């Protein structure tokens, strides 16, 4: 099927030769063509340009001409941090927080990740896959066209492998790029385990198995007081690197304990959360952005800040220091029960003072690169799959931050097909 979209009010992120990512200071210059056209053939982007340079139509056969007046066209969202595979919602814990308990108090009393793990251990692989499929369809409807999904709610070898097999099944079933992350050290399992003994067990038994079965693209850990210390995460990252797996780390969510510098030293792809960023961490990220060939992405998760009422990551400071920033949902039942990237982009603008093009770049080109999908997603490029968002008519891109209650994604296309 051939389509020609005409009179697009603004075409975002379209390149003949796209950059692999945008550094903090470049994000505001994400490609933008006012009054544009876009051609799609057989599910792929074919060509694009400004209406003023439109070459005209020579071959009308089977061509569907669509008038996009007033609308913006964007690359589909690239959500680089999710826990989309999980068990039941945790609304009761939310109620407990409304009654005054903190997220950490609830976790210390056996709620939180341990609560989700207990529920997940009891689910069959089919149930888990069925629920994940429903959620993935939902987030695609809201505009997501590439996604990273973590394990980490298994907390036994058997259940971690079960989660990773479910992610593998989703990869086969869905027509969008999916990255699997083995969240090896998420919480210390109940019983006689300590952070050290579980990390050691993971490194000796589980990680080699996951690598052998080719079930993960990345390895992750929760580096935080009460969870896993810097030494534990460092040992895990070293072991992962030896198996040619690179890392991602949940770090500085509640406390800055040195995980940022350690993660940079071990060549992680991204450092995620960063709600508490000290001067040394910012300097380390900035130095890495200046010098590394493939810099570490700072992945901010505003849905978690919103839902837990904790600080928003200082992305303005990070971008001013030229650090490439990504925005993701953190979709999970405890700290961010929403997989809607439009909401994340909206919070990026309102709560993190991102310019519309910065927030959109963080949620597309940089999100793709933060999960190693820069060749497949995050930009609109001739020859690539047409994974696209068409907005409702809007005054400007700032409407995506301004009209905060409105769903502004009108249509989503994956491989040129409307979802």
Which of Fe ion, ligand NIG, none does residue 304 bind to, with CB < 5 to 8 Å depending on kind?
ligand NIG
Q: Which is nearer to ligand NIG, 71 or 273 (CB)?
A: 273
Q: Which is nearer to Fe ion, 224 or 330 (CB)?
A: 330
Cα separation, 215 vs 57, whole angstroms? 47
Q: Which is nearer to ligand NIG, 68 or 216 (CB)?
A: 216
Helix or strand or coil: residue 77?
A: strand
**Residue keyed to tokens 């479910």:** 166
- Contacts of residues 285-294 at CB distance under 8 Å and 24 or more positions apart, as own/partner, are 285/260, 285/318, 285/321, 285/323, 286/321, 286/322, 286/323, 288/264, 288/323, 289/23, 289/24, 289/321, 289/322, 289/323, 289/324, 290/322
Which of ligand NIG, Fe ion, none does residue 162 bind to, with CB < 5 to 8 Å depending on kind?
none
Q: Which is nearer to Fe ion, 20 or 338 (CB)?
A: 338
Q: How far is the CB of 221 from ligand NIG (least distance, A)?
A: 10
Residues near ligand NIG (CB under 6 A): 112-113, 116, 222, 250, 253, 304, 330, 332-335
Q: How far is the CB of 378 from ligand NIG (least distance, A)?
A: 22
Q: How far is the CB of 334 from ligand NIG (least distance, A)?
A: 2
**Which residue number places its CB atom closest to ligand NIG?**
334
Which of Fe ion, ligand NIG, none does residue 271 bind to, with CB < 5 to 8 Å depending on kind?
none
Cα separation, 315 vs 298, whole angstroms? 8
Residues near Fe ion (CB under 5 A): 330
C-alpha closest to that of 318 among 329, 330, 326, 310: 326
Q: How far is the CB of 178 from Fe ion (least distance, A)?
A: 16
Q: How far is the CB of 75 from ligand NIG (least distance, A)?
A: 24
Helix or strand or coil: residue 164?
A: helix
Q: Which is nearer to ligand NIG, 261 or 332 (CB)?
A: 332
Sorted by sequence, the CB contacts under 8 Å of residue 202 that are 6+ apart come out as: 184, 185, 236
């Amino acid at each position: 099927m051939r389509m020609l979209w005409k009179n697009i009010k603004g075409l975002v992120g379209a390149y003949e030769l796209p950059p692999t990512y945008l550094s903090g200071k470049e994000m505001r210059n994400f490609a933008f063509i006012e009054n544009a056209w876009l051609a799609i053939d057989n599910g792929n982007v074919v060509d694009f340009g400004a209406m003023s340079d439109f070459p005209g139509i020579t071959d009308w056969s089977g061509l569907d001409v669509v008038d996009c007046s007033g609308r913006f066209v964007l690359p589909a969202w690239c959500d680089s941090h999710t826990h989309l595979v999980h068990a039941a919602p945790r609304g009761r814990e939310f109620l407990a927080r409304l009654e005054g308990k903190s997220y950490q108090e609830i976790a210390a009393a056996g709620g939180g990740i341990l609560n989700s793990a207990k529920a997940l251990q009891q689910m069959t692989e089919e149930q888990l896959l069925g629920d994940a499929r429903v959620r993935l369809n939902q987030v695609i409807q809201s505009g997501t066209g590439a996604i990273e999904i973590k394990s980490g709610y298994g907390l036994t070898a058997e259940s971690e492998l079960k989660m990773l097999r479910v992610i593998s099944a989703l990869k086969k079933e869905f027509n969008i790029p999916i990255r699997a992350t083995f969240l090896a050290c998420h919480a210390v399992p109940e019983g006689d385990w300590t952070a050290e003994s579980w990390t050691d067990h993971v490194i000796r038994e589980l990680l080699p198995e996951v690598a052998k079965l080719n079930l993960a693209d990345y390895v992750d850990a929760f580096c935080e007081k009460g969870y896993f210390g810097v030494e534990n995460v460092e040992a895990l990252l070293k072991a992962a690197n030896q198996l040619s797996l690179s890392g991602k780390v949940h770090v500085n969510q509640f406390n800055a304990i040195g995980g940022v510098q350690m993660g940079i030293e071990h060549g992680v792809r991204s450092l995620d959360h960063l709600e508490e960023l000290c001067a040394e961490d910012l300097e380390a990220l900035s130095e890495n952005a200046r010098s590394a060939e493939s810099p570490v992405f700072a992945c901010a998760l505003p849905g978690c800040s919103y839902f837990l009422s904790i600080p928003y990551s200082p992305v303005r400071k990070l971008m001013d220091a030229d650090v490439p920033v990504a925005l993701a949902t953190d979709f999970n039942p405890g700290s961010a029960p929403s997989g809607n990237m439009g909401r994340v982009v909206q919070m990026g603008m309102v709560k993190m003072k991102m310019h519309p093009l910065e927030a959109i770049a963080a949620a597309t080109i940089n999100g793709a690169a933060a999960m190693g999908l820069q060749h497949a997603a995050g930009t609109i490029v001739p020859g690539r799959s047409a994974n696209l968002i068409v907005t409702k008519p809007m005054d400007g891109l700032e409407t995506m931050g301004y009209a905060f209650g409105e769903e502004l994604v009108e249509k989503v296309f994956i491989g040129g097909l409307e979802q």
